[in-house]
A = this chain, B = another copy of it.
Amino acid sequence: MQNLLEHIDKFVSLDESEKELLLSRISYVEARKKQFLLEAGKPGYKLFFVLKGCLRLYLITPKGNEQTHQFVIENWWMTDYLAFHNDSVSGFYVQAVERSEVAVLQKSDMDFLLEKIPKLERYFRLCYQKAVGAAQKRISYLFSLSAEERFHNMNDKFPEFVQRVPQYMLASYLDFSAEFLSKIRAGKV
């Protein structure tokens, strides 16, 4: 949990009793590779923070394909935010890409903590501000680059990522087929 405290500390400073209170309301989960933390169709009242490892958020399209929406590594929060915001059922799966250590915050606990430690409003406001920016950036890549350009852009900017996740997940994240990714890598396109 040290990672989480350090991350919070970058934005707001908590005293010892506040840290204690915080930790008393956050649980710790170790997820095996491919294990689900959240499933579509189930209530989405949890927020996940990656302490170690890698998670992905994905959905199954009406046609039955997996579409990876987001990968997150150390020091990012993730969930289906619409479900979280509206207390509704999740439309997404959250799954461990590799063995991961995760902090889990229930919405009710979040509300409790925000009540008791108003400074955390600021922390989450800043996290979300960054997340909205990241989402805008993501859409702009999907919009303005061709499939091949999206792959090369990813490879240039996040090479360790391209190593770390299976190709079929990466392909669905970049919004093209696994076969096509294979051809791009082979230079056959």
Task: Name A residues whose Cβ lies closer than 8 Å to a Cβ of B.
Answer: 57, 59, 61-63, 65, 67, 69-70, 80-86, 91-92, 114, 118, 121-122, 124-126, 128-140, 142-144, 175
Contact of A69 among B82, B130, B136 (CB under 8 A): B136
A71 to B101, CA, bound (A): 38
Contact of A131 among B126, B132, B142 (CB under 8 A): B132
Decide if B129 touches A81 in the complex (CB within 8 Å): yes
Contacts of A121 in B (CB 8 A): 118, 121-122, 125
Smallest CB gap from A121: residue in B: B121
Contacts of A83 in B (CB 8 A): 133
Contact of A82 among B67, B92, B137 (CB under 8 A): B137
Q: Could you tell me the distance in whole angstroms from the C-beta of A162 to the nearest C-beta in chain B?
A: 20
Contacts of A122 in B (CB 8 A): 114, 118, 121, 125
